[in-house]
Structure 1
């Protein structure tokens, strides 16, 4: 049988959503709140588009939206987004949103142990907002479970799991050449949702 001739594509492959934008922080914020509402049994018709818009308006009022869109968000922008969402959820739906950063004062921690401990708190009304830096990417996502070897994600892009052994910790987020991903003091936020 003769090998098939390769046909040349007449145009480049299209970029997928998320390839040119850096909105994972906003998507992960919304997904964390949605997950926490779901585990709390809150089925109120929340307009997540409206929550997203409120967060984008807050970012645009304080920072250049073009910069955030192309360079991504860091913890100050994320904290602002959660504060804006908390005001909206309380006023419009009678829902209390609490956000705590359990590693914010840590200088040393074992990522696998710390993530497994936080995952034990993912019962009713809680979600784990999670960010990491790597050599080729930085990303925000939502942790919905942790096994002995993997982190299970509710991810807006990339895969549904990551290996626990791929993470190292540095309080300021410095990534060494031999490390795959680094977590910092601001890499994890515990999201709690409850009714008034």
Structure 2
């Protein structure tokens, strides 16, 4: 990163339970916490708001057991998280089928590079069927701020096409959310 360091060690990621499928909700909570450096109380309030929203929509048990899908993630980001907590949510790779890993990787690097109030929620399949938050990305690895305590994804193990024994981490560009509390000009990230 260029001349700046993210010190998030005083705000460890909240973790999901071992038997639930709430990684999507925790990725939202952790992204908001990462961007805003939210207190435990503020984070608890967001969690409460999410649970109440899902209960009213009769989705809580479904998400608890089966996890969250892309369209539900969009609705939650819009209706619950909203402009008060994260002012800008972009899905720059929506509708792009299997983009080149190098181009996708570089766009994530460029988005996060040197800016403290940004995060990326990344959808994964393959070895992990999971939602996570990218803390930092280098040319060789993705470092995560993750509810399941996954720390890193080596680039040599990632793909955007299909998972194999060597490239076991299938990154889902169309289910990747660029989050920020500032205006984002998505054209500058070479999508």
Q: C-alpha distance in 2, partners of 1:69/1:97?
A: 27
Aligned counterparts of 2:108 and 2:16: Cα–Cα separation in 1? 31
Identify the residue that residue 104 of structure 1 maps to in structure 2.
94
Tell me the TM-score normalised to structure 1 length. 0.72
Asked if the contact 2:104–2:173 (Cα under 8 Å) also holds between the matched residues in 1, the reply is no
Separation of aligned partners in 2, 1:127 and 1:78: 15
> In the alignment, does 2:157 pair up with 1:166?
yes
What stretches of structure 2 of length at least 5 have no aligned partner?
1-14, 184-191
Match of 1:127 in 2: 119
Q: 1:17 to 1:97 in 2, by over 3 A?
A: closer
CA–CA distance in structure 2, aligned partners of residues 191 and 83 of structure 1: 12
CA deviations 1:109-156 (Å, max 9, x no partner) are 122441232122221321111110115x31111111112211111111
Q: Find 1:115's aligned residue among 105, 118, 129.
A: 105
Q: Which residue, 145, 155, 180 being the options, matches 2:168? A: 180
1:191–1:101 CA distance, 2 compared to 1 (3 A): same
Distance 1:126 1:69, change over 3 A: same
Runs of 4+ in 1 over 6 A off after TM superposition: 43-46
Structure 1, unpaired ranges of 5+:
1-15
Matches of 1:17 and 1:145 in 2, distance apart?
Answer: 21
The alignment status of 1:50 with 2:42, answered yes or no, reads no
Corresponding residue of 2:76: 81
1:181/1:47 CA distance change after superposition, 3 Å: same
Give the TM-score of the pair, scaled to structure 2: 0.74
Conservation of the 8 A alpha-carbon contact between 1:129 and 1:188: yes
Structure possessing the higher radius of gyration over alpha carbons: 1
- Distance in 2, matches of 1:84 and 1:182, equals 28
1:70 to 65, 74, 79: 65
Query: Structure 2: how far apart are the matches of 1:19 and 1:49?
Result: 19
Q: Is the 8 A contact 2:121 2:176 kept in 1?
A: yes
For 1:75-127, what per-residue CA distance to the aligned partner results, in whole angstroms no more than 9, with x for missing partners?
Answer: 1221122113344x62xxxx552111111021231224412321222213211
Distance apart, 1:186 and its partner CA: 2.8
